[in-house]
Amino acid sequence: MALAEASLVRHYRRLVRLAYLALPADRDRHTRVLAAHCAVQRALPTRWARTDRTAVRPSAPGPGPGPSDAPEGTDAPDDPAYAALRLRVLRAALRPRPAARLLTPRVWGLRLFTPHGGEGDAELDHALAALSAPARAAFALRTVEGLGVERAAEVLRQAGVAHPAVAVAVAGQVPSGPDPLPPAFDPCAVRVQPTDLLRRRRTLTAALAVGVLGLTTTAGVLGGSHPAAPGRPTTVPLAGADPDPSHLVRVAPDAWQHTSRVDFTAWPARGERREDGALLGRALAAWARPGSRTHAEPGTDAGPPTAPAPHLLFAGTVDGTGVVVFSDGERIARYTDSQNGQGGRDSGDLDLARADDADPTTAGAVVLRRQGATVRYLLAPWVDSAETRRIDRPDTPARPLDHPDGLTSPAPAGGPADCQGATLLQLHSSPVVAEKAERSAFLLADLGGLIPAHLTYAPPPERPQPDGSPPDRAQADRTQADRAQADREPREATAQDALQAWSRAGCAVPDGTPGVKQLNLWAFALQPLPQNAGSASWVCLRADRWDGAGSAATAVVLPGARGAQRTGGGPGRACGRFERDAVAWTWWRSPHGAEFVLAAGSRRVTRLTVKGSGWSADRPAPDRTLAVERPARAAVQVEALLDNGARIDPPH
């Protein structure tokens, strides 16, 4: 016990850093700092604990003797006491018990967090957050402990990790940078700031008022937190966000050209009032203490920022009104000042929207201001040019949109659900971030929220030739896997075929409300109509929201129709990456007056079945379509057989 205590005191900082890196990434920095210290302080074995023989193997290296920690990045001589402590710390961090959180140290009135680092630290933090707990622990063993691949895997195995070699391999893909462990990841070098003093006073008053209900009730009042939105990782909002505007995070104007994380974290601070301390102070106060004028989009947490110092994206006067835009890494916050800037806490409106896991397209624009039927956008710094185009006029060239310093001129508002006049935003990315030239242009649709939705398109499969031969030699040489991959991957909706499809089927989108991240139109089948009446195009439109929810709708575009006719749909994974098979049907009256049941399926459909009252049609479908003539319309059931033997039904 004495040796373990001496080793813990000598190497306390090293163990705490190890725990901090290995702890779950769903906690804010304040909670992780306290949890890391708790894991180390509770690592001393009790006299009732059985000896952990695996912890004292000679193969488990540890720091050697010396007045301070052994240098990181080097293997030190064996220290069985330290190896045992390290295992206990790793086990506590890898498998945190809910009851252990009750024993975590409490700090009243203060928030603790590691110092903010530069762009490289933010990238490393983002990369580590995406790793599993064993992989984070492996990264810590490699960087903090300086262990080799085999030794790190052995320690993880002793800590109970099922596949230690895999964890070490995954951790090896994370670049550590020139400094393996910067101060941003050192829980022993923390900044201390007070929480919201006014809020704390109100909380204390409320706690005293209900003190007669007992300590349990009082503790619940004092620990008041903000509920997390569905689908969002649970975090503890930092009500003590730094109110000093000078501490706001600002990145260099060319940061987006030197980072692999091209999203809102790469936006520089823009606007002529980005040094206006009074305006920024009012905006920060509004977010730190959300009130009656706070509006959160569906699926968005309405609480204070989850970062002590939010990232400033914009501060300026737009159409005579002060506007400030922040990001805390998970949400976009837009503060719209009152006309005179006087009014205390409720001097302006605060709008919040989720923005996590963005990319160069979904982080391409933010709505700054709405006035009547127009909207002004703030464009990403990597946008070279901007245009607008009508969704119902695919043959009309796009119109240039001025955007000095990223702020656009007023543009018509409205989403794709309005097939008779919606205006889309067409942006062109710099070659620095565009993977391919054909992907440099992309479309965004205003759905009434802070962040426009990204429009994509998946084309239909190649139409078979009448004699069954492939269209050409090149297509014949493509493998089935290549064709399936081409059909599955959405592309930018800027080509002429995509514009034509959106112009006719866009009004059938299943969800055109704020909070939608991407809208995809998938043309899954083309069907020649009976009696030489032309062709029908079958589509599935999918809406994916920022919180992970989604919905889909199938529709058919018939000759002569102004828009698409919706045939089914609802919430779920249909027509997405996890559910790629589709079938749909509708009634159709031919120009000669005959009634037909039309059915169509996606690429893997091999057979279609239609059943009615007293009749049925069950046929192979080489072109994945079926048309059955019936004397009158009645209730029917449609089913499709896939090439793997599974059966699917149309969405309802």
Per-residue pLDDT tens digits for 426-474: 999 998 887 665 568 999 999 999 999 999 999 987 654 444 444 444 4
Q: Is 611 a member of any domain?
A: no
If asked whether residues 111 and 35 sit together in one domain, one would say yes
Q: Which domain holds residue 163?
A: 2-192
Q: Is 597 a member of any domain?
A: no
If asked whether residues 254 and 288 sit together in one domain, one would say yes
For the chain, percent helix, then strand, then coil, each to nearest 5?
A: 30, 25, 45
pLDDT at 75 over 70: no
d(CA 364, CA 110): 37
For tokens 């909207």, name the residue.
375
If asked whether residues 176 and 266 sit together in one domain, one would say no
Weakest mean pLDDT among 17-21, 305-309, 377-381, 502-506: 305-309
Domain closes at, from 358, 392, 419: 358
Q: Is 99 a member of any domain?
A: yes
| SS3 state at 530 | helix
- Between 38 and 491, residue with greater pLDDT: 491
Q: Please compute the mean of the pLDDT values over residues 270-298 and round it to a whole number.
A: 92
Domain closes at, from 192, 208, 233: 192
Residue 103 main-chain phi, psi, to 5 deg: -95, 0
DSSP 432: T
If asked whether residues 151 and 7 sit together in one domain, one would say yes
Residue of 584, 458, 563 lying closest to 520 (CA atoms) = 458
Q: Is 514 a member of any domain?
A: no
Q: Is 512 a member of any domain?
A: no
Question: In sequence order, what E strands does 259-330 have?
Answer: 294-296, 311-318, 321-327
If asked whether residues 153 and 12 sit together in one domain, one would say yes
DSSP H or E run through 12? helix 12-22
Q: Please compute the mean of the pLDDT values over residues 84-113 and round it to a whole number.
A: 69
Q: Name the burial class of residue 65, with classes exposed (0-12), middle (13-18) and buried (19+) by CB atoms within 10 angstroms of its CB.
A: exposed
Mean model confidence pLDDT for the chain: 79
Q: Is 647 a member of any domain?
A: no
If asked whether residues 154 and 248 sit together in one domain, one would say no
If asked whether residues 245 and 299 sit together in one domain, one would say yes
If asked whether residues 30 and 154 sit together in one domain, one would say yes
Q: Please compute the mean of the pLDDT values over residues 93-112 and round it to a whole number.
A: 60
If asked whether residues 46 and 92 sit together in one domain, one would say yes
**Do residues 427 and 421 touch, judged by C-beta distance below 8 A?**
no
- Encode burial over 1-17: b for 16+ CB neighbours within 10 A, e otherwise: eeebeebbebbbbbbbb
Q: Is 394 a member of any domain?
A: yes
If asked whether residues 165 and 34 sit together in one domain, one would say yes
Weakest mean pLDDT among 176-180, 367-371, 607-611: 176-180
The structural domain count of the chain equals 3
DSSP 576: B
- What is the pTM for the complete model shown? 0.64
**Do residues 92 and 98 touch, judged by C-beta distance below 8 A?**
no
Distance, CA of 36 to chain centre: 27
pLDDT at 199 over 50: no
Domain closes at, from 451, 479, 508: 451
d(CA 169, CA 493): 38
Q: Please compute the mean of the pLDDT values over residues 350-357 and round it to a whole number.
A: 95
If asked whether residues 42 and 171 sit together in one domain, one would say yes
Residue of 440, 229, 263 lying closest to 353 (CA atoms) = 229
If asked whether residues 178 and 284 sit together in one domain, one would say no
Q: Is 413 a member of any domain?
A: yes
Packing angle of the helix pair 149-158, 133-143 (nearest 10 deg): 130
